[in-house]
Structure 1
Amino acid sequence: MDFINNWIFNLGFEGKTGQYLAAAVTILLIALICIVANFLTKKVVVRIISHMVSMSKFKWNDILLKRRVFHKLSHIVPAIIIYYFAPTFPRYQHLIESGANIYLIIVNLIVISSALDAFHDIYETFEISKIRPIKGVIQIVKIVLAIIGIILIISILLNKSPFILLSGLGALSAVLMLVFKDSILGLVAGVQLSANDMVRVGDWITMPKHGADGDVIEISLHTVKVQNFDKTITTIPSYSLISDSFINWRGMQNSGGRRIKRPIYIDVNSIRFCDDEMINKFRRINFLADYIDERLVEIQKFNETHNIDRSNPVNGRALTNIGVFRAYIKNYLLNHSGIHKGMTLMVRQLEPTERGLPIELYCFTNTTDWTEYETIQDDIFDHLFVVAPEFGLRIFQNPSGHDFRNLNGEEKEMSAVGNE
């Protein structure tokens, strides 16, 4: 500063004009030094570091470059230069040093934030990231660092120790809890979700209350994003997964089988005993030949043992078309290539309703793929709807317009015959 003052004085500038001109030249000189230092840091030092990192075989090095951690770190150099040139202006030294310190704090927060983002990107390259996501933890760390940074900046502006400010936070705890309510709830929910392994990225979850039915694509501090099967995105508050119920289909996907649980409604008026003609017909069905022979021997033995008079079909035991149909369905499923044989498989009657007698299929496919599952299920029921009449059974459905038209046609024919 003395050198510049003397130089300005030698040029003929004196008094306050010379002082202002010397200060302006000094500021320009410091600004020029900062620009050159920043340029050299970015173009030389950072470029050398970037080249060395890009030549490395580790993927995390490329992630650090992508997040521009080293580029943001270069902004610290001008702040350091300004800080050490502050004594050049004794009257404003404290103000300049405070400004430089605040700038350093902000730059450091930006650099740490970028480093944390890079760490999260690196963590996501490992399989454990799907089981234990840490995005919520990263966001909490960022919030804590931001609070610390704000406290340090305020302490610099007030020229007070940051510990004095921290001691006053107790009185503001209620306000802070209100302001950061969602963050606190999200943190608690994130810890519980992770500790109990309730949901992972990639899980298929269903939550009708929030209109969610799809795959989890992101778990953060405040929200869980679900991509529905129609490609829409549903955002659910993290704490809702703790306070409300939802379905996680991961167990089904891991089991290797997906459940089929669907009934066929049979018209009860079509259920009857099997006569000899029906029994002979059933014997020619591949899945029933052995069953018919075994059941007939068992039934005959039972009736003979108990001296039952079979002249009346009500007495004793006999085959029914609905019982044979159930046996056929079970054997058909046991021989179906798309049904999992190691899981529960049964065909059962449910309580009769106004829609008829429900015959429920309860089994599992050997795939969890949605498209393949639906194809297998459709093929099974297509077949059963077609073969049911072969057993003398009618599938129940409510009368349609076609049924009423046929009924009217039959009545007209009967009236015409009567008139003749």
Structure 2
Amino acid sequence: MHNLLEKIFGWCYPLFRKLGFEYTIASYLSLLINIAIMCVLAYVIFIVFRFVLDKSVRSIVKRTKNTFDDFIIEKIRGQYLFYLFPLLFVYKSVPILLEKYDYWEFFFGKTVGIFIIVLIIMIIRTAFNILRYYLKLIPRYSDKPIDSFIQVINIVLWLFGITIIISRLFDINEKDLLTILGAISALIILIFRDTILGFVASVQVAINDMVRIGDWVTMEKFGVDGDVIEINLATVKVRNFDNTTTTIPTYSLISDSFQNWRGMIDSDGRRIKRHILIKASSIRFLNESELVDFKKIQLISAYIDTRKTEIDKYNTNNNIDKSIAINGRNMTNLGLFRKYITQYLHNYPGLNKDLIMVCRQLQSTSYGVPLEVYAFSKDKKFENYEYIMADIFDHIIASVPFFDLEISEIPTEKGIQK
């Protein structure tokens, strides 16, 4: 290669000397002409290499059935690769052209060498970006934090490239340079603290499958309540349900508590867990005549007969004095209401009957006796879920007076006047 370049650029100076030009003039004229020749040849190499590479790669791609190479042709920015060979040609030509000009040979040689290193980094970076775009098209990788890993690779790649550039620029051995960098590692760690924390968090998030793109997450500390749309090395971007976007540090996913609703979305139902407060003073035992009236409620008619038979049998066998209602076993309006709600839930078409479904009484409070519905709706879509829950409680609240119960609430000024 060296001999070929000497033949290409070595003819000009002797020719000018034979034509009678002085040493200095012949030297400068030959330099200018050789620079022009070098530029023309570099451009020709660029055109030829671009044409040959483009045609050959496209020809190979058409013959293969793999979609990855088609994706490469569609996404690749080939000019980085096309410039590599012309720059290598220039890099080899500079020492010959500027052999008599030590300063300029050093300057241009170092400059072209740095350009080649940067170009190689850009080519490798492009290759990883192509891989990132391709993996996002594969369903099993679409929800993985691919961006985080590619960013880490790019950072390492640039650090490696900068190390080589500095070593070439100042003629420092790479090992010695790494030793120097090791001595200031504490400063580097301080500067790249967020990046390092983000990388560690990204790895833990990916390994433990804590968050995926598309997950609905809630994080009260940052006011986050929405879907994850992007996971990067340092940040996680969430589109909230009010159409605002919140960006949170990636390491906060492992340092703080957050709620991921993926389990609910992947399950067979969305949980309904809501209660009403019953006024304690409205809870009482039921007598025989009242039970006759309650039997008109179809959902609990059969239950009342069965329950009444069971209670009467117990009271008779144990000689219970029923002249006082508190003696023995009795039915209460609240217990009957709980049974009614349970039957209503079992007959409601929007609930999943295969999952837990219960109406339970919680610990009494100073505000009343909580009666809670715990069930799962079939439809997990937000607006449909809210409609189902509201429809159930509309009916429950409207049913309370039929059982001679009252809902506990803070009296208003209008209520006090009455």
Q: How many residues align?
A: 406
How much has 1:238 moved relative to structure 2? 1.4
The equivalent position to 1:59 in structure 2, one of 67, 72, 78, is: 67
Q: Which residue of 1 aligns with 2:292?
A: 280
**Cα shift readout 1:138-168 (whole Å, capped 9, x = no counterpart):** 2111111111111111111112322221232
**Cα shift readout 1:104-124 (whole Å, capped 9, x = no counterpart):** 110010111111011111122
Greater CA deviation, 45-54 or 77-86? 45-54
The equivalent position to 1:289 in structure 2, one of 289, 301, 307, is: 301
The equivalent position to 1:88 in structure 2, one of 85, 91, 97, is: 97
Answer yes or no: is 1:39 the counterpart of 2:26.
Answer: no
Q: Which runs of 4+ in 1 moved over 4 A?
A: 6-13, 54-57
The equivalent position to 1:28 in structure 2, one of 20, 28, 36, is: 36
TM-score, normalised relative to structure 1: 0.89
How much has 1:8 moved relative to structure 2? 4.7
Answer yes or no: is 1:367 the counterpart of 2:376.
Answer: no
User: SS of the counterpart of 1:287?
Assistant: helix
User: SS of the counterpart of 1:260?
Assistant: strand
Q: Which residue of 2 aligns with 1:323?
A: 335
How much has 1:344 moved relative to structure 2? 2.2
Answer yes or no: is 1:380 the counterpart of 2:381.
Answer: no
TM-score, normalised relative to structure 2: 0.90
Amino acid at match of 2:335: G
Structure 1: tracts of 5 or more residues without a match: 408-420
Q: Which residue of 1 aligns with 2:202?
A: 190
Q: Which residue of 2 aligns with 1:352?
A: 364
**Residues of 1 paired with 2:223 and 2:368: CA distance?**
34
**Residues of 2 paired with 1:382 and 1:173: CA distance?**
64
User: SS of the counterpart of 2:345?
Assistant: helix
Answer yes or no: is 1:142 the counterpart of 2:154.
Answer: yes
User: SS of the counterpart of 2:292?
Assistant: helix
How much has 1:61 moved relative to structure 2? 2.4
**Cα shift readout 1:34-76 (whole Å, capped 9, x = no counterpart):** 2232233335532553465367543322432343243321110
The equivalent position to 2:13 in structure 1, one of 5, 24, 38, is: 5
RMSD: 2.3
Structure 2: tracts of 5 or more residues without a match: 1-8
Q: Which residue of 2 aligns with 1:418?
A: none
**Residues of 2 paired with 1:54 and 1:97: CA distance?**
40
Contact 1:67 1:117 in 2 (8 A): no
User: SS of the counterpart of 1:333?
Assistant: helix
Answer yes or no: is 1:211 the counterpart of 2:216.
Answer: no
C-alpha spacing 1:11/1:280, structure 2 compared with 1 (3 Å): farther
Contact 1:130 1:202 in 2 (8 A): no
C-alpha spacing 1:313/1:369, structure 2 compared with 1 (3 Å): same
**Residues of 2 paired with 1:221 and 1:51: CA distance?**
38
**Residues of 1 paired with 2:172 and 2:278: CA distance?**
85
How much has 1:11 moved relative to structure 2? 7.0
**Cα shift readout 1:264-311 (whole Å, capped 9, x = no counterpart):** 112223322223443222212221011100110011111111212222
**Residues of 1 paired with 2:407 and 2:264: CA distance?**
31
Greater CA deviation, 102-111 or 155-164? 155-164
Amino acid at match of 1:345: M
Amino acid at match of 1:231: N
Contact 1:67 1:115 in 2 (8 A): no
The equivalent position to 1:107 in structure 2, one of 111, 119, 123, is: 119
Amino acid at match of 2:78: F
Contact 2:143 2:214 in 1 (8 A): no
Q: Which residue of 1 aligns with 2:242?
A: 230
How much has 1:21 moved relative to structure 2? 2.8
**Residues of 2 paired with 1:314 and 1:164: CA distance?**
93
Amino acid at match of 1:312: I
User: SS of the counterpart of 2:299?
Assistant: coil
**Residues of 2 paired with 1:12 and 1:367: CA distance?**
96
Q: Which residue of 2 aligns with 1:19?
A: 27
C-alpha spacing 1:275/1:11, structure 2 compared with 1 (3 Å): farther
Amino acid at match of 1:49: V
User: SS of the counterpart of 1:226?
Assistant: strand
**Residues of 2 paired with 1:154 and 1:60: CA distance?**
36
Amino acid at match of 1:309: D
C-alpha spacing 1:54/1:205, structure 2 compared with 1 (3 Å): farther
User: SS of the counterpart of 2:247?
Assistant: strand
- Aligned-residue sequence identity (percent) comes to 39
Amino acid at match of 1:393: L
Greater CA deviation, 230-239 or 321-330? 230-239
User: SS of the counterpart of 1:85?
Assistant: helix
Q: Which residue of 1 aligns with 2:4?
A: none
How much has 1:2 moved relative to structure 2? 4.0
